[in-house]
Structure 1
Amino acid sequence: MDAQATKYLKQLQLDHKVKVENGQLSTTALSQGQRKRLALLSPYLEDRPIYLFDEWAADQDPVFKEIFYTQLLPELRSRGKTVLVISHDDRYFHLANRIIKLDYGQIESDKT
């Protein structure tokens, strides 16, 4: 399990700050964006079938935001996971399989 966690820490670009030994994290003293990335470790290790991200990338630096949308999300999809992303990052909308635009809780458009 430690080897798998270490792999994900590298993918989340946290391996230089956090280590896993005997199932324990070496630190959680991280920036807000880094803590959000660290929070992904648990669902990744549990290999959950569905992932829901609600404005998840809002606290990420531009470099990791790009990684999130262009690498992490496509990888989850390629592993057969259902990925639902709530986002205002219209720069990345073209990467979605389906876009449902809401306006005050009502569906304004639904494009596949």
Structure 2
Amino acid sequence: MSKRDVEIAQAESEAARDMPLPEDVKGQRRGRSIVQSVRLPERAYADIERIANDAGVPVSALIRGWVLTALAAERGTSLRAAIDHLAGEAERLRQLAARSDVA
């Protein structure tokens, strides 16, 4: 990632900071937000950009949703919540499979 790419990502992050989180992320923002830089392989970032574009959301909002979802799972999950999560993941995989069948 070049310095320009980092600047673009930072600008996108700032522009999206007040946007709502993806629908599958429970809860709302509380308190101050912290910006954290993360290094990703180019290929992974390209895949994330594609997924975000397909979903019509900014990359930063997509990643934020994923991180908050994983954090909530780490904090302890009931059996019912785990089943709901697996059902959601199965649906997401079905959608990805349907897109790849079309492409």
Larger helix percent: 2
TM-score, with normalisation over the residues of structure 2?
0.30
TM-score, with normalisation over the residues of structure 1?
0.28
Q: Which has the higher contact order (CA 8 A, sep 6+)?
A: 2
Larger strand percent: 1
